[in-house]
Amino acid sequence: MRVKAQVAMVMHLDKCIGCHTCSVTCKSTWTNRPGTEYMWFNNVETRPGPGYPKQWEDQDRYKGGWEYKNGKLRLKAGGPMSKLKNIFYNPNMETLDDYYEPWTYEYEHLIKSPKSEHLPVARPKSQITGKYIDKPEWGSNWDDDLAGGSEIVPMDPNVQKLQEHIAMEYEKTFMMYLPRICEHCLNPSCVASCPSGALYKRDEDGVVLVDQEECRGWRFCMNGCPYNKVYYNWNTHKAEKCNFCYPRTEAGLPTICSETCVGRIRYIGVVLYDADKVKAAASVEDPQDLYEAQLDCFLDPFDPEVIEEAAKAGINNEWIKSAQESPVYKMAMKWKIALPLHPEYRTLPMVWYVPPLSPIMNHVTNEEELKTDGYIPTVDQMRIPIEYLASLLTAGDTDVIRKVLLKLTAMRVHMRSVSVGGIDELQESKLLTEADIDVETIEEMARLLGVAKYDERFVIPTGRREMDDDLHYKQGACSIDDLAPPEGMVTYPFERRKGS
């Protein structure tokens, strides 16, 4: 057993209101420099839809993540030898157009325009070339709230896989928000794709980072990450990615996206896992078994043996206590209501999602008299097709999704009977057995999902500073000193650009 700690996140999709606050606060913290205009370490996409970058889930094209072939786990885009062969031109890499050409508006003109017959306007101007863009045609949220409708929705790779036709008539259509950050995977393919070894997973908290000094811009990580969450900075010619706001988490604070989340959908906590199990878990044959295999890697933070091994691995008491109180452990591992995004990529992602409930398609008549058991079939009639959620969260396994939705439904039914009354005793119904849950858990769940306060949603131990070997040297130093990409334009003699 090789115990490692991972700081992980759960997002409760039912509560996301698609306000993009998380994206904006993240952007103004991390990607507001030249070269990073198009980057959104956190983005919120409306699904169904192509997402950002366009159709990132189309791995036939980007060749992200891992594949299991002939009894071996290998990078889908090809191993080291094939990467060296393709180093001069990476055939699978996305380009700016797969994201969008970032632009600003010429606001100056509003102030400086000479007197004229018509009102002055601020024209859009490319942040890449500085030229006017007369007609912006795509952006990071171009299809927000299904804008673009039946023209853009079919670009969603999940929709293309679905057997059944997705209705686009207003009364029948569905929609959900999917906020995305880097998954800080247990088996990160970005790390394995990097020829320079500049990407790495931190021992202490599992955060996946790019060493800005060692990155040589070979750009295989970009499409190597199946979630397309590594970005190419055209200014520094190096890769950048979400760093889980580690200067904040090291201080015990949640990431910026979580701190500012309006819907309070985000939870952060520590989980302990056995690093020796990771490779085997990523190598199970059937993609639908990956979810269970990943769950098997996690360790029970209350198990004395685990605690002992963790201590040997240098994980201190504060971290173990946090792991015991971790909301992520509860939701993803104990109650099993949070699921990993696209487990079939075999990276063992560590941002977990509670799937959203959605209105029932057919009108439920005489709801007041509905017996609790009557709620069971409603799960299959929800607006968001179970198949669609399964395509996102369980490699197509609808049973797992159905069970989670039943748990959430049971929670609603029970909490409603507690506060409003009027529905028959849950204990005696089949809903509980089908959902495989008891009333005590339901009430605990309802508290964490519904009313938990800041310190219950974010249980983050501070960085283990006592492990630093040169604390004296680091006194007063900036925690992102060695790692941070430079501010402003990168210059070197003869490499100066106009206007920098």
Partner 1 sequence: MEGIFWWVIVPYLTLAIMIIGSIYRFTHNQLSWVAPSTEFFEKKWLRIGSPLFHYGLLFAFVGHVMGVLIPLEFYHMFGISDHMYHAFAIYGGGVAGLMVVVGAVILLIRKMTIDRVRVHATFADFYSVISLLIVAGIGVYITLIYNTTVVEYEYRTTIGPWFRSLFTFQPQYQLMTGVPFLFQLHIIAAFGLFASIPFTRLVHFYSVPIVYPFRAPQQYRSRSAFKRKGI
Residue 128: CB partners within 8 Å, gap ≥ 6?
37, 96, 101, 102, 234
Which CB sits closer to ligand SF4, 46 or 441? Answer: 46
Instruction: For residue 179, state whether it binds ligand SF4 (rule: CB under 6 A).
Output: yes
Residue 420: CB partners within 8 Å, gap ≥ 6?
none
Which one among 9, 230, 449, 459 touches ligand SF4, defined by CB under 6 A?
230
CB 206 within 8 A of CB 6: yes
Q: For 229, left (φ over 0), alpha (ψ -120 to 50), or beta?
A: alpha
Which one among 93, 261, 315, 333 touches partner 1, defined by CB under 8 A?
93
Distance separating alpha carbons of residues 196 and 217, to the nearest angstrom: 9
Distance separating alpha carbons of residues 122 and 268, to the nearest angstrom: 41
Q: Residue 419, SS3?
A: helix
Measured from the CB of residue 11, what is the shortest distance to ligand SF4 in angstroms?
A: 6
Measured from the CB of residue 306, what is the shortest distance to partner 1 in angstroms?
A: 20
Instruction: For residue 201, state whether it binds partner 1 (rule: CB under 8 A).
Output: yes
What would the x/- binding string for ligand SF4 be over residues 311 to 350, using CB under 6 A? ------------------------------------x---
Which CB sits closer to ligand SF4, 307 or 338? Answer: 338
Which CB sits closer to partner 1, 50 or 485? Answer: 485
Instruction: For residue 492, state whether it binds ligand HEM (rule: CB under 6 A).
Output: no
Measured from the CB of residue 240, what is the shortest distance to ligand SF4 in angstroms?
A: 10
Measured from the CB of residue 175, what is the shortest distance to ligand SF4 in angstroms?
A: 13
- The distance in angstroms from the start CA to the end CA of the chain is 53
Per-residue H/E/C for 219-273: CCHHHHCCCCCEEEECCCCEEEECCCCHHHHCCCCCCHHHHCCCCCCEEEEEEEE
Which CB sits closer to partner 1, 15 or 464? Answer: 464
Peptide bond into 377 cis (omega under 30): no
Token digits of residue 423? 């529905």
H or E segment at 178?
strand 176-180
Measured from the CB of residue 347, what is the shortest distance to ligand SF4 in angstroms?
A: 5
Residue 117 binding result from ligand HEM, partner 1, ligand SF4, none, given CB thresholds of 5 to 8 Å by partner type: none
Which CB sits closer to ligand SF4, 261 or 338? Answer: 261
Which CB sits closer to ligand HEM, 88 or 492? Answer: 88
Token digits of residue 420? 């409003």
Which CB sits closer to ligand SF4, 242 or 445? Answer: 242
Provide the H-helix boundaries in 44-115.
59-62, 80-85, 96-99, 108-112
Instruction: For residue 87, state whether it binds ligand HEM (rule: CB under 6 A).
Output: yes
Residue 350 binding result from ligand SF4, partner 1, ligand HEM, none, given CB thresholds of 5 to 8 Å by partner type: none
Distance separating alpha carbons of residues 17 and 30, to the nearest angstrom: 23
Token digits of residue 8? 């992980």
Main-chain dihedrals φ then ψ at residue 398, nearest 5 degrees: -75, -25
Which one among 72, 109, 161, 237 touches partner 1, defined by CB under 8 A?
237
Which one among 100, 177, 232, 345 touches partner 1, defined by CB under 8 A?
232
Residue 496 binding result from ligand SF4, ligand HEM, partner 1, none, given CB thresholds of 5 to 8 Å by partner type: partner 1
Distance separating alpha carbons of residues 479 and 278, to the nearest angstrom: 29
Which CB sits closer to ligand HEM, 93 or 341? Answer: 93
Measured from the CB of residue 86, what is the shortest distance to ligand HEM in angstroms?
A: 9
Strand partners, 73: 68
Residue 225 binding result from ligand SF4, ligand HEM, partner 1, none, given CB thresholds of 5 to 8 Å by partner type: ligand SF4
- Cα–Cα distances in angstroms (integers) from residue 459 to residues 101, 269, 273, 307, 367, in the given order: 38, 5, 17, 18, 39
Which one among 184, 277, 336, 342 touches ligand SF4, defined by CB under 6 A?
184
> Which residue spans within 275-426 are E strands per DSSP?
339-340, 351-354
Instruction: For residue 88, state whether it binds ligand HEM (rule: CB under 6 A).
Output: yes
Measured from the CB of residue 225, what is the shortest distance to ligand SF4 in angstroms?
A: 3
Instruction: For residue 197, state whether it binds partner 1 (rule: CB under 8 A).
Output: yes
- Cα–Cα distances in angstroms (integers) from residue 158 to residues 125, 153, 390, in the given order: 34, 10, 9
Positions that interact with partner 1 (CB under 8 A): 75, 79-81, 83-84, 87-91, 93-96, 128-131, 187-188, 191-192, 194-197, 199-205, 211-219, 232, 234-238, 463-464, 467-469, 482-483, 485-486, 490, 492-497
Positions that interact with ligand HEM (CB under 6 A): 87-88, 218
Positions that interact with ligand SF4 (CB under 6 A): 16-22, 44, 177, 179, 182-185, 188-190, 208, 225, 227, 229-230, 241, 261-263, 265, 347
